[in-house]
C-alpha cells in the first residue's frame, strides 16, 4: 500500500480483542521507532512495554483510555539526552524530547498499520501519576501511549475520521 493511502485509511481503534501482537511484528514496530530522525541524532526516545497482567492492571489506574488493549507502549524521553535550543527567544527552555518521542510514536503507529496491527494514540493521563505508578526515574518524561492490537467485531472508524479541512487551511506562502 502506498504511504498516503495507508495514512488516510488508518484510524484510532477503540475496540480491541485479546489476541497478543506477535513478537516479530512488535520487533518491526519498535525498530521503526528506534530508527526515526531525532534532533542532533541524540535519540532520547524510550519505549516501555505494558503487556503483563500486572502492567495492564496498573494501566487501568492511570488512564480511562486503555480500550482493553493487549499491549500499550508508553513512549517517553530521557530529559538528560535531549537537544536544547539556546537561541529560541520564545521558548527559552525548549528541548527536543517531545518532538523526538512523537516522531517515534507516529512512525511506530504507521508501521503497525502496515503490518495489520491497529493502534490508538493516548494522551489522557497525568505524567507524574504514570511515572510514580510504573516506577520510572524522574528524568523519564512520558509523552504518550500507543495502544496496539487487533480489532474486535465492533471495530470501525468514527464517523468524523474521514472529514478533513481543505488544504488551503494548512498551507501558506510567506
Tell whether the torsion through CA atoms of 20, 122, 52 and 31 is positive or negative. positive
The residue behind cell 480489532 is: 151
Rounded distance between C-alpha atoms, residue 47 and residue 30, angstroms: 8
Rounded distance between C-alpha atoms, residue 69 and residue 163, angstroms: 26
Count of alpha carbons within 13 Å of 8, Cβ hemisphere only?
A: 8
pLDDT the model gives residue 93: 82
Rounded distance between C-alpha atoms, residue 43 and residue 25, angstroms: 22
Domain boundaries, the chain: 3-152
pLDDT the model gives residue 170: 96
pLDDT the model gives residue 1: 77
Q: Which three cell numbers stand for residue 128?
A: 507524574
Tell me the fold of 3-152.
NADH Oxidase (3.40.109)
pLDDT the model gives residue 128: 97
Per-residue pLDDT of the chain (174 residues; tens, 9 = 90+): 799 999 999 999 999 999 999 999 999 999 999 999 999 999 999 999 999 999 999 999 999 999 999 999 999 999 999 999 888 888 888 899 999 999 999 999 999 999 999 999 999 999 999 999 999 999 999 999 999 999 999 999 988 898 999 999 999 999
pLDDT the model gives residue 46: 98
Amino acid at each position: 500500500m502506498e504511504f498516503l493511502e495507508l495514512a488516510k485509511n488508518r484510524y484510532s481503534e477503540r475496540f480491541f480483542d485479546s489476541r497478543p501482537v506477535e513478537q516479530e511484528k512488535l520487533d518491526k514496530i519498535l525498530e521503526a521507532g528506534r530508527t526515526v530522525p531525532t534532533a542532533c541524532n541524540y535519540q532520547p526516545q524510550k519505549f516501555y512495554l505494558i503487556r503483563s497482567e500486572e502492567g495492564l492492571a496498573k494501566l487501568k489506574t492511570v488512564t480511562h483510555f486503555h480500550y482493553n488493549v493487549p499491549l500499550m507502549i508508553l513512549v517517553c524521553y530521557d530529559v538528560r539526552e535531549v537537544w536544547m535550543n539556546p537561541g529560541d527567544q520564545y521558548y527559552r527552555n525548549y528541548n527536543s524530547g517531545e518532538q523526538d518521542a512523537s516522531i517515534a510514536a507516529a512512525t511506530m503507529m504507521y508501521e503497525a498499520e502496515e503490518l495489520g496491527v491497529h493502534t490508538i494514540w493516548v494522551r489522557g493521563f497525568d505524567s507524574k501519576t504514570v511515572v510514580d505508578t510504573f516506577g520510572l526515574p524522574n528524568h523519564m518524561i512520558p509523552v504518550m501511549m500507543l495502544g496496539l492490537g487487533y480489532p474486535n467485531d465492533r471495530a470501525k472508524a468514527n464517523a468524523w475520521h474521514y472529514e478533513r479541512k481543505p488544504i488551503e487551511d494548512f498551507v501558506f506562502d510567506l
